[in-house]
Structure formats: C-alpha cells, structure tokens
C-alpha cells in the first residue's frame, strides 16, 4: 500500500523552491475556505489534487517542499529511488529495520519524472501566484488601515490561489447556505462519483475534478440528489450544460481577459450563481484581484471593525449593500482588495481563533471594550431600577 509522503521519511522525489512563510503559510491559505480539496494528512503536510495530479506540500521557514504522486507505474524510477534511500540509510549508520521499511514504502511512491520538475514548479508557482509580492501588499495595506496592521503580524502569508475555473465555480455553487467542512464532504463525494481516479494513499482514494461534459449529463442531477446535494444538484447540472452548449471550451479563458464587472455579470447568468459566488470565482480563479466576496460574515466585519454604515438599517444583504461594502474595501485597500479581504476573513474564522489569543488590543479596541462594559452595567442598573419601580 502506498502512503502519504513525509518529508522526514526522505526520498529523492521531494522537490523544493524558495518561499518564506511570510509569503505563503499553507495552513492559513489552504484552510481558509477558498479551496476544498486539501487536507492535513500529517503534521504540517497538506495533500490535495491540483491540475489533475495529487500533491503533498509542507514547508520549513524559508522553503516550500512538494511531492507529486503519479498514477502511472514507473518501476525503474521506483527501484532507483528505493536503492538511493537504502544507501543513504547505510551511509548514515541507521540500521533500524523499521525505519528502512517505512522509507522503502515511501520510495515506492516516488514516481516523479526529473523532466517534469520544472513544469511542476511552474504549476505550483501559478497555483499560489508566487509572482505577487505579498510582503509589499501587507505593508501597503497596513499603512492605510490600522485594523489590518493590527492583525497582519499574526496572519501573515495568506495568499489567494489561482484555481481551475471549473473546479472553483462548481465548488462555490455548492457553498450556498453551507459551511466549510460540509462543502468539503460534498466536493469529495462529487469527485469520487464522477471524477477519474488518480491514486490511493493510506486507503484514501483521490480523484480528479469531473470535467464539464460529465457534469452536464442529464443523469447528474438525480445522482447528486442521492448524494445529498439537494437543490444545488440542479444548479450544477444546468450550469455545466449551459457552458458546454452555449460557451465552449475557451469561455473561462475569455473571462480571465475580460474586465472584472463584465466577468462577474456574465457568471451571474448561470443557475445558482449570485453576487458572492461570482465574486469568489472572479477572485480565486479569474485573476480579478479587486473582487471582494461579501456575505453576512464580511458584512459583520465591515460594521464591527470599520464602522461601515453600509446597510446599517438593513436586516438582509441587498445588492446595494453588497456593492457599497465592496466599494468601501476597494477604496481602502486598492487593486488587491480581494486579497486583503481574505486575510481578515481568515482571521475571523473560528478554526484560527487560537492564533489571535496573543494579539494585544489596540488603544481604540480597549476603549471600545471599556465602553461596552460600561453600557452593559448601565443597562443592568436601568433594568434593576425598572423592576423595583
């Protein structure tokens, strides 16, 4: 049985590229809800599917390490890798049979071709958009926004991914009225049912994301309903059918070249695609860095942390309120507003709250906390006085 790769187990199939944590932090970037295909399979090791292949990623302080699995056997590469690992063990004086067996098992998964190394590195750089200098952006945002600066030191390295548009679109159609863990389960079932198998590691089967022609088949809606997709099943099948029949294979590439608002409005014509889903797709797969997806969560951030008056008298997030909040953040943060928004969105997720425990309150925050306590005490006194009366 093949296992998930571990950097500590060694193997010549691990590759690396220079990338400090301040430019990319895997746990925050892959765990903040912009992608749903990655899991932490060992401490600090993230495994997922990208560009039709299975990857395991991990990092040290200044290096990003990556391991690409192959579903095509290559016995010569396997045995060569195994011999090298065993030889390294002998040279280092390690004679533990258990360690050797583990490393030989890892070696059996080492099927990466040397000639693909450069291509793999370019794919990884493109996926994480490593050509964008995140440190410069953080400095610019911090200079304009004291609240961002307050949070940025803890939540460094949150990057926007450049995902496959098909996977991104259909994943976010599934996100309607959903939470991250449930969306992950739905995407897993979708891929296992309709996607091509890639490989199996530690009894976990990995599949590619289903292509548009498969998603567009008339039987897909009922199959997805049986998998618990509910009303989203119809949106998935109908959207795929429209793209296949009316737009063609180059449609998403044309949207990458189109202006932001045109791309967003075009996506909104698809079933199940509202403003937020369209903005998520624009930001996370169509190169629209100014797109700011707004949900009730982001609305609360705008009101609570920025005293943004947009929709203060509204109980629901209308299209006008949505636009006003997006414009507010675009004016504050500039052309990469969507990237800045993702940092604060990540910092507000429950799963990352422990990271915030060491952040001291700003003076304004302390004053606000003090005022809230004062208002609470005054309200209690008023209630007590009213009861006595």
- With 0-12 CB in 10 A as exposed, 13-18 as middle and 19+ as buried, what is 87? exposed
From CA 314, how far away is CA 306, in angstroms rounded?
17
292 touches 326 (CB < 8 A)? yes
- With 0-12 CB in 10 A as exposed, 13-18 as middle and 19+ as buried, what is 168? buried
363 noted as active-site residue: no
- With 0-12 CB in 10 A as exposed, 13-18 as middle and 19+ as buried, what is 165? buried
| Residue 201 C-beta-side C-alpha neighbours within 13 Å | 27
Which residues is 63 bridged to in the sheet?
18
Residues, the chain: 389
Element (DSSP H or E) covering residue 14: none
First to last CA, the chain: 76
Nearest to 101 by CA among 174, 205, 3: 3
SS3 287: coil
107 touches 85 (CB < 8 A)? yes
Q: Which of these is catalytic: 84, 200, 276, 366?
A: 276
From CA 263, how far away is CA 286, in angstroms rounded?
8
Which positions are annotated as active-site residues? Answer: 276
């Amino acid at each position: 049985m093949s296992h998930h790769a571990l950097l500590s187990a060694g193997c010549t199939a691990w590759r690396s590229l220079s990338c400090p944590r301040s430019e990319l932090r895997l746990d925050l970037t892959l765990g903040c809800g912009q992608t749903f295909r990655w899991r932490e399979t060992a401490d600090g090791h993230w495994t997922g599917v990208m560009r039709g292949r299975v990857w395991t990623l991990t990092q040290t302080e200044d290096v990003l390490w990556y391991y690409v699995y192959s579903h095509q056997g290559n016995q010569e590469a396997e045995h060569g890798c195994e011999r090298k690992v065993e030889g390294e063990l002998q040279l280092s004086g390690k004679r533990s049979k258990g360690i050797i067996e583990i490393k030989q098992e890892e070696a059996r998964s080492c099927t990466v071709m040397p000639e693909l190394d450069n291509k793999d590195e370019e794919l990884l750089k493109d996926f994480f958009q490593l050509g964008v200098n995140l440190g410069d952006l953080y400095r610019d945002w911090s200079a304009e926004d004291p609240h961002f600066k307050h949070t940025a030191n803890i939540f460094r390295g949150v990057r926007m991914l450049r995902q496959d548009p098909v996977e991104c679109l259909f994943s976010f159609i599934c996100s309607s009225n959903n939470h991250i863990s449930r969306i992950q389960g739905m995407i897993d079932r979708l891929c296992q049912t309709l996607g091509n198998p890639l490989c199996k590691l530690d009894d976990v089967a990995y599949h590619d994301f289903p292509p548009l022609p498969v998603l567009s088949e008339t039987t897909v809606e009922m199959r997805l309903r049986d998998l618990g997709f509910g009303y989203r099943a119809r949106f998935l099948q109908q959207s795929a059918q429209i793209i296949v029949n009316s737009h063609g294979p180059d449609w998403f590439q044309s949207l990458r070249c189109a202006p932001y608002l045109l791309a967003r409005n075009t996506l909104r014509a698809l079933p199940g695609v509202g403003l937020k889903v369209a903005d998520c797709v624009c930001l996370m797969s169509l190169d629209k860095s100014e797109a700011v997806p707004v949900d009730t969560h982001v609305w609360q951030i705008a009101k609570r942390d920025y005293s943004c008056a947009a929709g203060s008298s509204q109980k629901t997030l209308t299209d006008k309120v949505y636009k006003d909040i997006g414009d507010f953040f675009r004016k504050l943060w500039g052309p990469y507003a969507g990237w800045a928004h993702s940092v604060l969105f990540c910092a507000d997720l429950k799963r990352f709250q422990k990271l915030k425990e060491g952040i001291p309150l700003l003076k304004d925050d302390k004053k606000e906390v003090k005022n809230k306590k004062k208002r609470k005490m005054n309200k209690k006194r008023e209630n007590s006085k009213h009861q006595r009366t």
